[in-house]
Each structure stands twice: as structure tokens, then as C-alpha cells.
Amino acid sequence: MYKISRNQEYLLVKFTDDFNFPVIQSAIRQETAMREYANTNDIWLIGNNHARIRLGEIEMMISEFQYCCTHDATRTKTAVVVDAGLTGAVMELVVSGLKKRVDFGVEIFRTLDEAKDWLGVTESRTAV
């Protein structure tokens, strides 16, 4: 599953277990429905959890995210933190597709600190 939390500077979608397309779909819908989403950057923290995503579902993930994003948003960035490996490769395909379809930056990182630096987060370094 996953947990969505918020602070003053970003939303955090943290995966706590391996996941499949319905879980990703639920996370996308829940986060994009949040009042703060349109104006708040976010981090998707996948870490070492495994994606059980079929090749055909990658396009559906991209389309779902594009469809749910508000068009009048002021947000500028989404960071994806994921370990290297098969799940990292799947997420690289997703991010590559998203870059062509959304009006904000989307990048992959290997550590939470790198993602926060890219977002310009000024909070002190604490474990999440």
C-alpha cells in the first residue's frame, strides 16, 4: 500500500509495500484530488518496493496521471525516488512518458535527499 502525507513544502506519496496498477491508480486519484495538489510539488517515494506492472499498464498509468492533473495548476515538479533495477526501469518508462504530457518537471532520483534538493526543499534533513 501507500500513505500520502503533506507538509508546508511538498506532498509525499510513500509506498510501504510492493504494488500493482490498481494501487498506483488509487494513489494517483487520491493525491490529485487533494486541495493542495494543484499548488504543491510532490515526491513519490517508492524506494526498494517492487512494481508488479505489466507492459500494457505503463501507458494506462501515464494516461491516468495526465487525465487527473489539473490544467490550471501552479505546481512545477514531481520527483520519483526509486532504487535501480526492474522497478526503476519501469518508473523510468513512466517518467519518460509523463515528461511529454504534463506541464511540470518529472525526474527520477535514487535518494530522498536528491529529490528534496531538486524540489528546493529547505526543511532540515530528517528520516521519513
Name the CA dihedral angle for 91, 51, 117, 98, rounded to a multiple of 10 degrees.
30
Each residue's pLDDT tens digit, 25-48: 999 999 999 999 999 999 999 999
Find the domain containing 39 and state its range.
Answer: 2-119
For residue 125, being part of any structural domain is answered with no
For residue 112, being part of any structural domain is answered with yes
For residue 59, being part of any structural domain is answered with yes
Give CA–CA dist 106/115, Å, rounded: 10
Cell of 127: 528520516
For residue 128, being part of any structural domain is answered with no
Q: How many structural domains compose the chain? A: 1
For residue 11, being part of any structural domain is answered with yes
Using pLDDT thresholds of 50, 70 and 90, give the confidence band for residue 64.
Answer: very high
Of 78, 77, 82, nearest in space to 111 by CA: 82
Strands 51-52 vs 19-20: parallel, antiparallel or unpaired: parallel
CATH, residue 78: 3.30.750
For residue 127, being part of any structural domain is answered with no
- Give pTM, 2 decimals: 0.92
Within a 13 Å sphere around the CA of 33, how many CA atoms are in the beta-carbon half? 8
